[in-house]
């Protein structure tokens, strides 16, 4: 129990330190963006006096370390600031959009991860066969095609040629995702294809390497059924690296969400951060960037803890 508590505390400490480092990067990146926030707010009517007044009201005339400390303290208390364009709390803008993005990402994960593990195991067990070649060819093609191309093809196939699903999402962003479930299908498929390719090819490689190990050969010689070989000997070795890759793919998924949401006009944080960057709405950009960074760091931390729990070799390290 002491060892387990030590591992958890170490992971939590690493999460906090990494999140603080990410907050520094986010703040610095948004601070050095070209242009003036005050000029963006005032437009062509800006005068030096008005710009100075806006900068003073937004604390932009303070030193960067002081502004960072003020921003971080607000974040720690759940205060994400006020949107410069919408003139309302950032949290009120971000959370409904984040709920929609979370629903889209969760649907893609639930579809892609089990399917990629199944296809990877099938291809690995049948290495060199026509089944393996078909699976490898499909996953390689999926890996090579960008998300926006996949999204465009899906729109052409299932919204124009065969009008079964909506091409774009035209709903109120405050509605719950269940109320526009049909609009989730095409964006989910676009994200699933690439995620499936990444994870499936990795699982296939791990299965092939595991099959060549001595203990797998011994288990096969003992006459164990294919099912017992997979669930008792193969999956415990496949899951830890798969979890790590899935956690790493969270970063790719979050970036892919931005592209896919733009293609389908999906009301998530991806489309919100694009419009916020165009409008130089710095508080919104900072809040979304830090939120996505926190999710990525949390996913890697959880993957590490789960891998240690599954794999006895990692459990004591």
Domains and CATH numbers, the chain: 2-76 (no CATH), 90-315 (1.10.3720.10)
Query: By three-state DSSP, how is residue 24 classified?
Result: helix
pTM above threshold 0.85: no
The closest alpha carbon to 245, from 100, 99, 133, 112, belongs to 112
Q: Given phi > 0 = left and psi -120 to 50 = alpha, else beta, which region is 164?
A: alpha
Tell me phi and psi for residue 46, to 5 degrees: -65, 135
The closest alpha carbon to 73, from 23, 32, 25, belongs to 23
Q: Residue 85: CA atoms inside 13 Å, Cβ hemisphere, count?
A: 17
Q: Kindly compute the dihedral angle of the four CA atoms of residues 97, 98, 99, 100, in this order, to the nearest 10 degrees.
A: 60
User: How confident is the prediction along the chain (317 residues), in pLDDT tens digits per residue?
Assistant: 666 677 778 888 888 888 899 999 988 888 776 666 666 666 666 677 776 777 777 777 778 888 888 888 888 888 888 888 888 888 888 888 888 888 888 888 888 888 888 888 888 777 778 888 888 888 877 777 777 788 888 888 888 888 887 777 665 556 666 556 777 888 888 888 877 877 788 788 877 777 776 766 766 666 666 667 777 767 777 777 777 777 767 766 776 777 888 888 888 888 888 888 887 888 888 898 888 888 888 888 887 777 777 655 555 55
């Amino acid at each position: 129990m002491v060892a387990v508590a030590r591992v958890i505390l170490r992971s939590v400490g690493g999460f906090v330190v990494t999140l603080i480092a990410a907050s520094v990067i986010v703040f610095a990146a948004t601070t050095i963006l070209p242009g003036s926030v005050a000029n963006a707010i005032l437009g062509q009517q800006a005068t030096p006096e008005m710009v100075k007044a806006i900068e003073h009201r937004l604390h932009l005339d303070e030193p960067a370390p002081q502004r960072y400390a003020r921003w971080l303290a607000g974040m720690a208390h759940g205060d994400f600031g006020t949107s410069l364009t919408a003139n309302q709390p950032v949290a009120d803008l971000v959370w409904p959009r984040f709920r929609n993005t979370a629903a889209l990402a969760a649907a893609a994960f639930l579809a892609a991860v089990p399917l990629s593990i199944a296809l990877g195991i099938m291809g690995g067990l049948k290495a060199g066969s026509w089944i393996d070649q078909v699976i490898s060819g499909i996953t390689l093609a999926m890996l090579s095609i960008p998300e926006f191309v996949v999204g465009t093809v899906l729109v052409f196939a299932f919204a124009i040629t065969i009008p079964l699903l909506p091409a774009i999402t035209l709903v109120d962003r405050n509605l719950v995702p269940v109320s526009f479930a049909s609009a989730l299908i095409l964006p989910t498929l676009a994200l699933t294809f690439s995620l499936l390719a990444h994870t499936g090819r990795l699982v296939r490689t791990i299965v092939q390497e595991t099959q060549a190990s001595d203990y797998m050969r011994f288990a096969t010689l003992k006459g164990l059924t294919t099912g017992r070989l997979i669930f008792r000997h193969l999956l415990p070795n496949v899951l830890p690296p798969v979890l790590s890759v899935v956690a790493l793919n969270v970063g790719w998924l979050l970036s892919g969400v931005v592209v896919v949401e733009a293609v389908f006009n999906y009301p998530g944080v991806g489309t919100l951060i694009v419009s916020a960057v165009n409008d130089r709405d710095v508080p919104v950009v900072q809040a979304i960037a830090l939120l996505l960074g926190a999710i990525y760091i949390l996913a890697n931390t959880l993957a590490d803890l789960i891998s240690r729990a599954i794999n006895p070799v990692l459990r004591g390290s």
